Amino acid sequence: MAIQTKWKPSTILLIILFAIVSIIILFPLYAITLASLKPSTEIMRQGLNVRFDSHLFSMNNFVSVFEHPYYIRWYANSLLIAAIFTASSIILSAVVGYALAIYEFKGRNIIFVLVLVTLMLPTEIIILPLFKLMISFKMINTYWAVILPFVVAPLPIFFFRQYVTGLPKDFIDAGRIDGCTELGIFARIFVPLMLPAFGAMAILQAIGSWNNFLWPLIVLRANEKFTIPIGISTLLTPYGNNFDVLIAGSLVAILPLLILYIFFQRYFISGLTVGGVKG
Amino acid sequence: MNTKFAVDASTSIPRSSFWRSLPYSKKLAPYILVSPFIISFLIFFAYPVINTVIMSFQEILPGQVKYVGTENYENLTNRQFYRAMYNSAVYTVLTLLVLIPVPLIFAVLLNSKAMRFTNFFRSTLFIPALTSVVVAGTIFRLIFGELPGSLMNEFLSLFNVAPANFKQSAPLAMFIMVILATWRWIGINIIYFLSGLQNIPHELYESAEIDGANAMDKFLKITLPLLKPVTIYVLTISIYGGFAMFTESYMLFAGNNSPKDIGLTIVGYIYKSGIQKNELGFGSAIGITLLGIVLIINVIQLKFFGLFRKED
């Protein structure tokens, strides 16, 4: 079996091409990693460069990240919001998508059209009335304001509906005959079958929550309530202070998703490419 | 249909108690299950949409709201608004011009028979998609820093180009924002196109080969037409992403203010008017304009491509 396959010249050319493209794509991350190891004064005075000055390397910037009065707090906030948002979002959306796929009921088509309508209009259009609503709910500066308006999300509903439509329906009647409740049929029969969809949507919602910017920027007002992206953006001022926390902190902010990506790559790819292929 | 369900429900479960039979009701179950969406839709979508239409005809001051007719819309005819529209439109068009053909070609190459390590390269090119715009913006802001020693200026100095202050020039700032979007999205779009390519049956290419088609024929006559649905999808999300752009500009200019508004986008203008200046009425009028743009794009798309025709 171990016969060496001979590569055609076109294969070698393609591999060289993609190796170059990959290096270009990864280069910004390399540059920021290198910068995170150098004294921030160096970056402030000289600008971001990729000189490999190993004598300057230290972990001081990462120490500053942990000593920063708020960074850890922002991180914890982001983790908490992402966990609550992701868990409730996939459960609620799965239930709705499941109902749209399984049951024939009056109003089903209208509801599905409404899902598509919310999907097709950018939420940026309604941030001001939503902001006003949050003020009247007295939710400004709370995590509820970040989570609640978007927790029932049209894209996962759409995805779950498509996914369940493709599943076999033979078990439903068997379940009913055996005395299963309607919710039991969902929880015991369909949830196990829907696990890959749950994985993909969990990743989609977790990335969305972890990286979300505009809405938390509007509703979170106090430093100790900020999420990681909002916190990092406050470090970036036109006067350029706090470079140490900014650079090392940006890098630390990528870590959770990078670690998840290494283990659950499949779900990242299916989660972020929802709708690309139907059925 | 309904009578069938009614018979089912009454025969299989004794009607001893309404509450006991409730969990078994096939008629009620779907309504209970879709209720989260209905509640969320009414409170967090329908009401705000209606409210923003109303607000756009109001002047909203603390404790005092008054109707001002079309004044907010008349006030839209100002230089800042045109600048925001112009920036968002140019950004959208440029990202489309880069982020559709380039990932398409990369996907075709990755999918070609001669290619090896396809999955490895696919995973590598996807990594930037994990970074938030905030983190990516921070990195690109530093790469395109104004200091002569900053990465891009140092690179340009190799070609004897004088160091540039990228954030002072409208075309250069736009260039950086497009580069940033390209960097973050290229991997995702490659995966879209790859999955589209993998759905094209091999037999089509084989029979085309028998008929004497060359690589270019196959690409133009088989690959491109069959990638149409994926391309339309990528086009759609790119247009939305383009007109909804905000954070890229916010990060590049370290806040929502840029010199002479060279980085101002429509959403940036909504944020500036509604949140920073607290002119919710005027901000809503900008939001309605964005809604109008999106609706027009939707109508054009439905007319030309029939996006969801297959769905129902």
ipTM (interface predicted TM): 0.89
Whole-number Å distance between alpha carbons of B74 and A122: 24
Mean pLDDT by 10 residues, chain B (312 residues): 44 61 83 96 96 94 87 93 96 96 95 89 92 93 86 87 85 94 93 88 88 88 88 87 94 88 95 94 95 88 64 40
Q: What is the pLDDT of residues A103-161, one digit of tens each?
A: 999 999 999 999 999 988 889 999 999 999 999 999 999 999 999 999 999 999 999 99
Identify whether residues A48 and A131 lie together within a single domain: no
Domain C-terminal end among A58, A76, A93: A58
Domain C-terminal end among A58, A74, A94: A58
Answer whether residue A278 is part of any domain. no
Identify whether residues A75 and A209 lie together within a single domain: yes
* Domain B76-305 bears CATH identifier 1.10.3720.10: yes
Q: What is the pLDDT of residues A186-215, one digit of tens each?
A: 998 999 999 989 998 998 899 999 999 999
Identify whether residues A17 and A129 lie together within a single domain: no
Chain B 92-131, residues with CB within 8 Å of chain A CB atoms: 106, 109-110, 112, 114-117, 121-131
| Interface touch A131/B145, C-beta < 8 Å | no
Identify whether residues A14 and A125 lie together within a single domain: no
Identify whether residues A37 and A139 lie together within a single domain: no
Number of structural domains found in chain A: 2
Answer whether residue A2 is part of any domain. no
Q: Looking at residue A94, what is its pLDDT?
A: 96
The pLDDT confidence band at residue A4, using thresholds 50, 70 and 90, is low
| Interface touch B125/A22, C-beta < 8 Å | yes
Identify whether residues A78 and A53 lie together within a single domain: no
Chain B 71-90, residues with CB within 8 Å of chain A CB atoms: none
Answer whether residue A4 is part of any domain. no
Q: What is the pLDDT of residues A44-93, one digit of tens each?
A: 888 888 888 888 898 999 999 999 999 999 999 999 999 999 999 999 99
Answer whether residue A192 is part of any domain. yes
DSSP-assigned letters across all residues of B246-282 = -HHHHHHTTSS--GGGTT--HHHHHIIIIIIS--HHH
Alpha helices in chain A (DSSP H): 9-37, 40-46, 60-67, 71-102, 108-120, 127-136, 143-147, 154-165, 170-177, 182-184, 191-193, 195-211, 214-219, 228-235, 243-263, 265-272
Identify whether residues A112 and A172 lie together within a single domain: yes
Identify whether residues A32 and A70 lie together within a single domain: no
Chain B 212-231, residues with CB within 8 Å of chain A CB atoms: 229-230
Q: Is A241 on the interface with B (CB under 8 A)?
A: no
Answer whether residue A183 is part of any domain. yes
Q: Is A105 on the interface with B (CB under 8 A)?
A: yes
Q: What is the pLDDT of residues A220-239, one digit of tens each?
A: 999 999 999 999 999 887 66
Q: Looking at residue B76, what is its pLDDT?
A: 93
Answer whether residue A247 is part of any domain. yes
Taking contacts as CB-CB distances below 8 angstroms, the residues of chain A near B146 are 47
Chain A 171-230, residues with CB within 8 Å of chain B CB atoms: 176, 181-184, 186, 207, 210-211, 213-214, 218, 228-229
| Interface touch A181/B24, C-beta < 8 Å | yes
**E strand or H helix that includes residue B51:** helix B47-55
Identify whether residues A100 and A217 lie together within a single domain: yes
Helix, strand counts (H, E) of chain B = 18, 2
Task: For the beta carbon of residue B69, count every other beta carbon within 10 angstroms.
Answer: 9
- Domain holding A43, by residue range, is 9-58
What CATH number has the domain bearing residue A205?
A: 1.10.3720.10
Among the partner-chain residues B31, B267, B275, the one whose CB lies closest to the CB of A124 is B267
Indicate the average pLDDT of chain B: 87
Answer whether residue A1 is part of any domain. no
Answer whether residue A32 is part of any domain. yes
Identify whether residues A49 and A163 lie together within a single domain: no
Identify whether residues A54 and A75 lie together within a single domain: no
Give the start-to-end residue ranges of the domains of chain B: 2-55, 76-305
